[in-house]
Amino acid sequence: MRAPRHDPIPASRASPLDDADYARFAWRRYRRILAGMALLGVVLVVAALEWLGVARGEVPLHMAIAVSAGVFGTMFLTAVLMGLVFLSSGTGHDDGVEDPFAGEADL
């Protein structure tokens, strides 16, 4: 039995990020947002450690390191991924992708 034959994937339309000046602007804005989120992450780590100190007393070094890495890592990873989503959508880069299933009915 032969495998079903699929049509080739259609070529993507041009993206606004193909323009070097616009891409520089978009990536600069993305990096500026990430810098702000890194600063916010540091503030949140200090606040979390302060809260732990008040609620629990003296915080052991290993616990402080784990809390710092967990709070900052979670917050910054979320900022990076959401920033990429907004970068892709906000620049019109997503519009350059054609839906190969556009003609098929939804089930």
Q: Which two tokens stand for residue 70?
A: 């967990």
- Domain-located, residue 12: no
pLDDT at 88: 81
Domain count, the chain: 1
- Domain-located, residue 70: yes
Residue 3, φ and ψ in degrees, nearest 5? -70, 145
- Domain-located, residue 79: yes
- Domain-located, residue 40: yes
How far apart (Å, rounded) are the C-alpha atoms in residues 97 and 7? 16
pLDDT at 5: 58
pLDDT at 90: 76
**Alpha-carbon torsion (81, 42, 24, 29), positive or negative:** positive
pLDDT at 6: 57
- Domain-located, residue 1: no
- Domain-located, residue 29: no
- Domain-located, residue 87: yes
pLDDT at 40: 95
What does the pLDDT profile of the chain (107 residues) look like in tens digits? Answer: 565 555 555 555 666 777 788 888 888 999 999 999 999 999 999 999 999 999 998 999 999 999 999 999 999 999 999 998 888 877 776 676 677 777 776 66
